[in-house]
Structure 1
Amino acid sequence: MEYCEGGTLASAVRAGLVHETEHINGRNCVSVTMWKLLTVLLDVARSLEHVHRLSLLHCDLKPANVLLKTSPDSSLGLVAKLADFGLVKMITNDRMYIRNKSVSGTITHLAPERFETGSRLTPAVDIYAFGMLMFEAYTRHRPFANLHPAGILQAVARGSRPEFPPGTPPPYQALAEACWAQQSEQRPTASIMVQQLQDMLARTNCPSVFAKRHYV
């Protein structure tokens, strides 16, 4: 595997890749630079799109499994690459799903159907995890951080999800929430995610839709 000197997305987000701290009216305020965040997420969504075209499910998408490599061709100077295919699954039939045999992966990013033995697993399991990645990258908070594993399972089963802070750009929040829909067939495809992220990135220059920074 090629060397990715930028480390993981998890480490980069903690280090302030897309966040800045400003002192405003005597308070430290953390802001998100949206074009940077959207640029990274678009790379990840394109990677997922490619993986799904190969009839593969990644099954462990999270910030720690996204690596960053320097690139002079990127406006950010970095390109995000999907890594760690240790739990990958291949769809080998024409029905575009496989049967779930066991619970594996990172519990905070597992779709509801991942907790059910015998359930149908489709590319939508990765879409759900992408929605959680969107939340984590924007807020710098791990989903369900205050719950133990059994509590997470119960929360996900009843449809509970993390809450974005007030002021989150509506298109961004709407896409994340669509990704983690309870029913897998209601989640967008990777191709739709790519289209919507491209649209959001193009609109970051439109102040009425996206401020340059959003405070979290």
Structure 2
Amino acid sequence: MRYTSPLLLVIFSLSLSGCFFNNDSTPVYREAEGVVLENGEGVANADIHIRNKFDPGGFSQEPAATSYTINFSVQIEALYTLSLFRIGSDSVYNTFFEDTLAAGEHSILVPDSLLTNGILGYEVRSNFDMLTSSLFLVNKPDSSLPGSFPLTKTNANGEFTLDPEQLALGRSFTSVSGGFEVKDSLKIYVVRDSTIQAIKPVKFKPDKDNFFEIIVE
């Protein structure tokens, strides 16, 4: 299996592998707190993105399309919504399509600005039922992160929180191209004024409080 550098957007359908449910072998990760500082002061309202590390593959994964299209069929004409969520989240973060669709086959393009690195999911619903849902991996090139919907943002004091459930740390997935596990190392990106201003490699420590300080020069 050939792996490439992260200078490609990676998106393909995923499913959780069985080993994820083996709680005896899955480390417990706590929420991590972080702060972004410039000249000792907190940097407010900065976008926080991440890049996961994979096994196999390191900080890269196999290439796929440069966009993500949801293909599905509907049996009856009705109002349908297409929404995005992050793995481990109990709420949708963006409903990007809501319209009446005729019966038949449909293809809906997900706006690229809503896709940032990590394990994301989509769901297609009508006003009476869930039609389909799936997980997928996004691994954009660094140059595409500014302008993308961030994982989170810093508050007025420059602080942010990373939820390990939404990072999928320690989880294993399968896809048409094979399987991989999300490791507990990652890179944190600070984006401000449409520019990446800091990149900090970090490692989550299981069963411990984690704190990451990032200095913007």
> TM-score w.r.t. structure 1 length?
0.25
Larger Rg: 2
Larger relative contact order (Cα-Cα within 8 Å, sequence gap ≥ 6): 2
TM-score, scaled to structure 2: 0.25
Q: More helix per residue: 1 or 2?
A: 1
Higher strand share: 2
